[in-house]
Homo-oligomer: A and B are copies of this chain.
Amino acid sequence: MVKTQIRFGILGCAKVGRKMCRALELAPNTTLYAIGSRSIETASRFSSENFLPSSVKLYGSYEAVLDDPEVDAVYMPLPASLHLKWAVLAAEKKKHVLLEKPGASNVSELEKILDACESNGVQFMDATMFMHHPRTLKMEEFLDGERFGRLQYVFSSFSYKASPEFLESDIRMKPDLTAQGAVGDLGWYCIRAILWANNYQLPKTVVANRNPSLNKSGVILSCGSSFYWEDGRVANFYCSYLTDITMDITALGSNGSIRLHDFVVPFQENEAQYFQACNSKFINLSTGCEPARSGELVRADLPQEALMVQEFANLVANKADGLKVGKKWADICRKTQVIVDAVYNSIVRGFEPVEIMS
């Protein structure tokens, strides 16, 4: 029999966990069941600061969450370097795994996680929230249709101006915890958006932009890259902790085009905009074009992170019900990590092209 409420444990008290606590409350089929931190004090503080209900169990270790038989699934907002250990252990304890990005420190670690999930029969998903917004699904229909035509080019960017405290002390600034820096954090979204627009087909060649910014420890603060497919498609992305917020996608097809300015986190929670155009032509002595790109609005009944946990819980419930569930999210996550690794390696190798084995 299918459980309708999937009970979540959260490993770690990262800031993004607060957003996920709310998401687990908002989604109709999920419950926030437990929080585990390396100390019970941190878990208690997180609970009181975020007004969590007293029903939420607090644990002073990650193991304790994984050992609680009432926990169905875990969400892990841990530094990338800890993903391998804790996600594999979670899978072995038969907990379904919702993993914060990046997948892991590199693709070989991520593959161990994915193998552990598969061999233990638990569901895997990476917590890339924008994938679950109805706007993303609506744009996907347009991208897949004749009105858009054949994709030719994609640009994506994700940047924000991090605070001095973040740049000084966040875990994303520590090379031993997140070696790939901005590539695995901000770049993750840009790369995912590009793969999404390319129907998850991997490029053949990756060439990182020159001029990445590094902090004193060598952690990447801003960077970009070009991607090339065998049939001629091209993509560029740029990401940075050092500029005003951008979250842009521009996708160009042989017939249509898409643009948006808030792909990572929509400006509003209840509805999100994008611009699309189809078969635009210059008119009247080229003094304008018709149709100009139009703004499309897409309603969201829940915030995208709540839609994400809802879908994850549905997959978990289907699995419990004996339904065969595809490895869609594992596959997409792995491909994203493959390209994250390639960009990072291209930077390390002095912006040399990196060939992708598919």
Contact = CB atoms under 8 A, between A and B. Distances in A.
Max chain B Cβ within 10 angstroms of own Cβ: one of A244, A280, A287? A244
A245 B226 contact: no
A153 B238 contact: yes
Contacts of A242: 152, 254
Contacts of A278: 244
A228 interface: yes
Interface stretch (A80-88, A118-126, A261-269, A309-317): A261-269
A138 interface: no
Contacts of A159: 153, 252
A299 interface: no
Given A211-B232, A267-B292, A269-B287, A244 B252 contact: yes
A238 B243 contact: no
A244 B250 contact: no
A224 B211 contact: no
Contact of A250 (B207, B246, B286): B246
Interface in A277-295: 277-282, 285-289, 292-293
Given A236-B224, A253-B244, A287 B267 contact: no
Contacts of A277: 244-245
Contacts of A345: none
Interface in A220-274: 222, 224, 226, 228-229, 232-234, 236, 238, 240, 242-246, 248, 250, 252-257, 259, 261-262, 265-269
Which A-B residue pairs are the 8 nearest by beta carbons?
A245-B280, A267-B292, A243-B252, A244-B257, A19-B285, A236-B236, A210-B228, A152-B243
Interface of A: 15-16, 18-19, 22, 149, 152-153, 155, 157, 159-161, 205, 207, 209-211, 213, 222, 224, 226, 228-229, 232-234, 236, 238, 240, 242-246, 248, 250, 252-257, 259, 261-262, 265-269, 275, 277-282, 285-289, 292-293, 303
10 contacts: A152-B222, A155-B155, A159-B252, A207-B210, A210-B228, A211-B229, A211-B232, A211-B233, A265-B287, A266-B288
